[in-house]
Structure 1
Amino acid sequence: MELPDERDAVAPDGSDVRILLDLPAGGMAHFELAAGQTSTAVTHRTVEEIWYFLSGCGQMWRRRDGEEEIVDVAAGVCLTIRLRTHFQFRALAGEALRAIGVTMPPWPGEGEAQLVEGTWTPTVQSQGRRKA
């Protein structure tokens, strides 16, 4: 398997997705957010993720159980997105932010991601649903 040239989908947070591999217990995808862009904040209903950043520089905001943090991300940084964590990320100017994400269990489809209030104003079009 090689990284597809074209995106397969737009994630609920607005980033480009290239689907890589999947097994019954999880799936792997490549995520890309263009330079200078900010994703839409989302939370996942049933999945958890591990992200490994390949290139670019940016920041990831996460909030869970009343605690929140902003983490600087760049090539070599790895982090988790636990169940029901609110998260949002942004790419700094100059280069797209690229990451490999492992989703467990595999992405179930529409309705998994819910839009939430983030820490930054998003600059990309969301593909998710507003959290009730």
Structure 2
Amino acid sequence: MLLVDVDRSVRRLPIEPDEVAPDGAEVRLLARTENASTAHFRIHPGQVTRAVMHRSIDEIWYVTTGEGEIWMSNNGAVAVQQVALRPGLSLAIPQGTAFQCRNSGRVDLDIIAVQVPPWPGDDEAGIVDSIFDAD
């Protein structure tokens, strides 16, 4: 019989955040396995996150509500990609990609994210130089 850690593999979206990410976004923890984790991020209207870079994980985002922008610079590349965040958009943030978000809308910017491997802790996200003025 396969035993499942229900506390980690089945989880409702919490009303209150579980923590605040190193970039300043609210984090609500979702299901997790040995090989991947999921989370809900919330960025409030007008909020600008701090620019960060993940040291060891890849992250895939899916925007559920709100509007904003994200800039990404992969592995120290000079070229910066800026993407409009809108509901229904998914994007990949590979390991070593610097990124920063801002909510330019009037409602919360909500994102579901998958991290592979699972999120290891706050030391995962290092603060980097930003292009948006952070809060």
Where does structure 2 lack aligned partners over 5 or more consecutive residues? 1-10
Q: Does 1:104 align with 2:105?
A: no
Corresponding residue for residue 29 of structure 2: 19
Moved more, 11-20 or 87-96: 87-96
Q: Does 1:28 align with 2:38?
A: yes
Corresponding letter in the other structure for 1:32: R
SS in 2 for 1:88: strand
Q: Does 1:85 align with 2:97?
A: yes
Corresponding letter in the other structure for 1:17: V
Corresponding letter in the other structure for 2:81: E
CA-based RMSD: 0.8
For 1:66-85, list aligned pairs within 5 A.
Answer: 66=77, 67-85=79-97
- Relative to the length of structure 2, the TM-score reads 0.88
Corresponding residue for residue 129 of structure 1: none
Corresponding letter in the other structure for 1:18: R
Q: Highest CA radius of gyration, 1 or 2?
A: 2
Cα drift, residue 110 of structure 1: 2.6
| Richer in strand (by share) | 1
- Deviation above 2 Å: which 4+ runs of structure 1? none
Corresponding letter in the other structure for 1:10: V
Counterpart contact for 2:21–2:122, Cα < 8 Å: no
Cα drift, residue 100 of structure 1: 0.1
Q: Does 1:42 align with 2:42?
A: no
- Which one of the candidate residues 40, 63, 68 is aligned to 1:58? 68
Identity %: 38
Could you tell me how far apart the structure 1 residues matched to 2:48 and 2:120 are?
24
Cα drift, residue 93 of structure 1: 3.4
